C-alpha cells in the first residue's frame, strides 16, 4: 500500500469517528409508508403513483368498521408512563433510550446528543410531514416538535384498547410504526381525532398519512369508524 493510500484510509476513518462522536450528521430521508412496514425508516413521504395509491386503497379496504365507544376510564397511564422504555414487542424496545428520543433520532437531520449521552437528543432539524415546514428544534423549546401517535391513544381506547392486556397497550404506545415527530401546533390541533375529524394541513401527504393509519390499525386490530374509512379512501383516489 502506498503512503498516499494509507493517508486516504486514515482520513476516512477519522471522518467516520467524527460523525459518530458529534451526533448523526447525515440527513434522514423520508420514506413511503408502503416500504416501511416496521416503522424504523424515517419520516413520511408522499404516495404519488397510481400503483401505490391503489395499494394504499387496498390496505384501507381491509379495515374493520365499528362505532366509536365511550372514552370512559381513559388516562395516558393506561398505556404506561410517558415515553418510558418499557415495551417489549416493538422496535427500539428496551434499548435504554426513551421512546421520544428514539423517534427524534430516527427522523431528525443533524441530530445532536447531550454530552455524554447516546440517547438524549438536544437539537436537530425536522422536515415536518404534516405542514411541510422545516423546524430547527432545540430541547429548550421542546414542544415545538411533538411525537404524534398516528392512531391517537384515546382513539384506540374508544375502539377497543381498553380491553387489551397492558403489554399490548405498551407496544401500541411505543411502536415506531405509530409514531411521527411533527409540528407541535399541528399535533395539538389533531388531538384524539380520526381522519374524518383531522388530516395533515399539507395535502400532498394525506394519502401517506391515512396509509400509515391503516397499517397501525391492521397490526393492532383497531377498527375505524365508517366516516374515517370513507375519508381515508378519498385521500388515495
Q: pLDDT tens-digit profile of 144-157?
A: 999 999 999 999 99
Alpha-helical segments (H) within the chain: 3-22, 50-61, 99-107, 153-158, 166-174, 184-190, 206-220, 226-235
Mean pLDDT of the chain: 91
Q: What is the pLDDT of residues 104-139, one digit of tens each?
A: 999 999 999 999 999 999 999 999 999 999 999 999
Question: Grid coordinates in use for 217?
Answer: 390499525
Whether the per-residue pLDDT at 35 is higher than 60: the answer is yes
- Burial of 8-45, coded b for 16+ CB within 10 Å and e otherwise, reads eeeeeeeeeeeeeeebbeeebebbbbbebeebebbbbb
Number of other CB atoms surrounding residue 185 within 10 Å: 15
Taking residues 147-171, report their average pLDDT: 98
The 3-state DSSP class for residue 172 equals: helix
Percent of the chain with pLDDT over 90: 88
24 band by pLDDT with thresholds 50, 70 and 90? low
Amino acid at each position: 500500500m502506498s503512503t498516499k493510500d494509507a493517508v486516504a484510509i486514515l482520513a476516512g476513518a477519522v471522518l467516520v469517528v467524527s460523525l459518530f462522536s458529534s451526533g448523526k450528521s447525515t440527513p434522514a430521508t423520508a420514506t413511503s409508508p408502503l416500504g416501511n412496514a416496521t416503522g424504523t425508516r424515517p419520516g413520511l413521504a408522499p404516495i404519488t403513483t397510481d400503483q401505490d395509491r391503489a395499494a394504499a386503497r387496498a390496505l384501507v379496504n381491509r379495515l374493520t368498521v365499528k362505532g366509536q365507544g365511550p372514552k370512559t376510564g381513559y388516562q395516558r397511564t393506561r398505556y404506561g408512563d410517558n415515553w418510558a422504555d418499557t415495551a417489549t414487542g416493538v422496535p427500539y424496545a428496551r434499548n435504554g433510550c426513551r421512546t421520544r428520543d428514539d423517534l427524534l433520532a430516527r427522523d431528525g437531520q443533524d441530530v445532536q446528543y447531550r454530552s455524554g449521552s447516546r440517547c438524549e437528543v438536544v437539537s436537530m432539524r425536522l422536515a415536518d410531514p404534516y405542514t411541510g415546514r422545516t423546524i430547527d428544534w432545540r430541547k429548550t423549546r421542546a414542544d415545538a416538535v411533538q411525537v404524534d401517535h398516528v392512531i391517537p391513544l384515546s382513539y384506540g381506547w374508544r375502539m377497543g384498547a381498553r380491553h387489551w392486556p397492558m403489554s399490548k397497550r405498551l407496544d401500541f404506545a411505543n411502536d415506531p410504526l405509530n409514531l411521527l415527530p411533527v409540528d407541535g401546533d399541528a399535533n395539538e390541533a389533531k388531538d384524539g381525532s380520526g381522519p374524518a375529524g383531522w388530516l395533515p394541513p399539507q395535502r400532498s401527504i394525506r394519502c401517506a398519512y391515512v396509509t400509515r393509519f391503516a397499517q397501525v390499525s391492521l397490526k393492532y386490530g383497531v377498527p375505524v369508524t365508517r366516516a374515517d374509512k370513507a375519508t381515508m379512501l378519498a385521500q388515495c383516489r
